A and B are shown apart, each in its own frame.
Chain A
């Protein structure tokens, strides 16, 4: 059974750095083709893909947020960490992590999602 759970602060101040942890079970990031992505959703708005880290440590980032994001993994702990620097109120959103897997010739799929964690940016 695949599960993912996001954890981190519910409230951060403007200019601070946000650190979120995705703890997962039911798969391993040492398995070829396995990845974890982060996606966020401001209240009442659409989904926005942020970053992805692969089993072989390849990393991919949102174009607009690339300078502020860092994604890393600890395979032994089954965890993926996302840091976002210089937080602003517009970054207030629910942040999700999702398992991402290679599906043969069908590319990489977001198949299992965590429940999400709401992060509010306010002084």
Chain B
């Protein structure tokens, strides 16, 4: 199975900050990577697919990049509604696997 490792596991940031989360795959996955946002008690929400394509309706402050084994999710200007846990997921090969999550908290 492909292991997905996110860093950091948690971070504290202020409103308006630029935030970057990293996801590393244990082997190459081309660009078959998605990012999800999850708020407490809610289902995950799809943000990005194919490493850098924004899902319909997702604001452009979210962006993704990377290919192969190293990927990033960037939030350009953190807003109160962005405080959540973020997960990466590879869908290059079965079984699909998720990262352990990165919790973005208010500083």
- Asked if A106 is at the interface (CB within 8 A of a chain B CB), the reply is yes
A-chain residues with CB within 8 Å of residue B50 when the two chains form the complex = 103, 106-107
Residues of B in contact, count (CB < 8 Å): 26
A20 to B51, CA, bound (A): 31
B interface SS class: loop
Instruction: Convert A83-98 into 0s and 1s, putting 1 for each residue whose CB lies closer than 8 angstroms to a CB of B.
Output: 0000000000000100
- Asked if B81 is at the interface (CB within 8 A of a chain A CB), the reply is no
- Supply 8 A–B pairs (Cβ within 8 Å), ascending by A: A46-B87, A46-B101, A49-B97, A103-B49, A106-B32, A109-B91, A110-B36, A113-B45
Q: A49-B98, A103-B49, A110-B91 are in contact. List 8 more A-B contacts (CB 8 A).
A: A37-B96, A62-B95, A96-B43, A107-B32, A107-B50, A111-B49, A113-B45, A115-B42
B interface residues (Cβ-Cβ under 8 A, vs A): 1, 31-32, 34, 36, 42-46, 49-50, 53, 55, 87, 89, 91-92, 94-101
